[in-house]
A and B are shown apart, each in its own frame.
Chain A
């Protein structure tokens, strides 16, 4: 049974979902890549930061949403809390891939760059980031695909998005509703995976 107006709801919730993911990923990238770069420069906080990101990943997503609700400023009910927890989830793959990507640059290449008189900034922008780009993008892709899935749970704390359909469908035992949430979410994930994978391949020159 497809009720009238369903299509419109799908479009609306899909775009809401998309915005949620976009916001979370932008923040996660803006935090994760610079911190990842810093961690390549400073060995000592590496374990601590990666440990934190790791622990964040192990917390069940529904629980993380729940934990955040009572926390002032970043918590509460609604989109903000949803985005904060999605960011915490997305951080690890981005952070870790930035770190491994840059540390994976051939030692001889790095040594040549330094010995040729590159400044730290030139080394980063001309050598390390281009050579690590593929690995970093792979991290972004994994994080994005995961975030699209996890974001469906955001509906539980009033974050909106396609999860609204799913929770509604579960509550009313209505498969159509569940599918109305699940299929667009899966499609979004596939498109993101394909698109980011394509960009990634274009960086495969090296």
Chain B
């Protein structure tokens, strides 16, 4: 499925012999009633990259993200994961191979931290010793000493610690792909910065393909290998952070104006 692909502006790479993109949106539209949430949306995510979906609230970025792990399906067009449409995947198998981190974290309140992190491996029926080793390793990576945190419950943790657990949980079963939906949006700016650092460290270590939704342009510039800017369900710009800075799209300029005007440390809420 190489040559005739409809990729949105990308770096010019010889596309004839490339393996399928990690994720590809092909002319995806999504509507609820008469409301068009995504409008003929196409792009692909290459293996190993961190693609940031940037946009205001209601731009359709979360909707797009939720189509990757089959929580939603396109009204028209298709979303391919490893070259296969999500509609052709066994959804359980698809989802177990994709880590998912959301702003509200969604830790299981009745499970310990260790049980939360080890859940996907447990669902995949790994042997218990292997799960235990993996869980300890991931907590270590997340900056949460396992001896201290393994047996605690989510309610005993701070927001930042919880999200660290959320990220560790998403990585647990060595997924092919990671999805982040404004994961650090509810955190204070300092914690947010720490978690971004941790995200970068983990990315460098595990080399995972990631799609990361945010409305924070600073965050996007900091972690993205490419930024896709959405405006009312359409893709306005898709560029590396460097090129994004010089892009001329009106919505892109609006986001960049935030950088120029707001030299303070607050997080901008697009709501």
Contact = CB atoms under 8 A, between A and B. Distances in A.
- The SS class assigned to the B binding surface is mixed
B96 interface: yes
A113 interface: yes
A118 B109 CA distance: 16
A111 B123 contact: no
A107 B71 CA distance: 13
Interface in B81-107: 91-98, 100, 102, 104-107
A117 B96 contact: yes
- The SS class assigned to the A binding surface is helix
A176 B95 CA distance: 68
Contacts of A112: 100, 102, 105-108
Contact of A106 (B92, B93, B100, B106): B106
Nearest to A130: B110
B131 interface: no
Q: How large is the interface on A (under 10, 10 to 19, 20 to 34, 35 or more residues)?
A: 20 to 34
A197 B71 CA distance: 38
Contact of A114 (B71, B105, B120, B179): B71
Interface string A118-150: 110010000100110000000000000000000
B123 A116 contact: yes
B69 interface: yes
A73 interface: no
Contacts of A115: 69, 71, 95, 98, 100, 179
Contacts of A113: 106, 108
B95 A131 contact: no
Given A116-B119, A131-B109, A111 B102 contact: yes
Contacts of A107: 104
Nearest to A112: B106
Given A108-B104, A115-B100, A122 B110 contact: no
Contact of B106 (A108, A118, A131): A108
B107 A109 contact: yes
A198 B130 CA distance: 37
B92 to A, nearest CB: 5
A117 B109 contact: no
Given A109-B106, A117-B92, 4 more contacts: A106-B109, A108-B106, A118-B92, A130-B110
Interface of A: 106-119, 122, 127, 130-131, 205-206
15 contacts: A106-B104, A107-B104, A108-B102, A109-B106, A109-B107, A112-B100, A113-B106, A114-B95, A115-B100, A115-B179, A117-B94, A117-B96, A117-B97, A117-B123, A122-B123
Nearest first, the 10 closest Cβ-Cβ pairs linking A and B are: A112-B106, A117-B96, A108-B104, A117-B95, A108-B106, A115-B100, A206-B110, A206-B109, A117-B92, A109-B106
Interface of B: 69, 71, 91-98, 100, 102, 104-110, 119-120, 123, 153, 169, 179
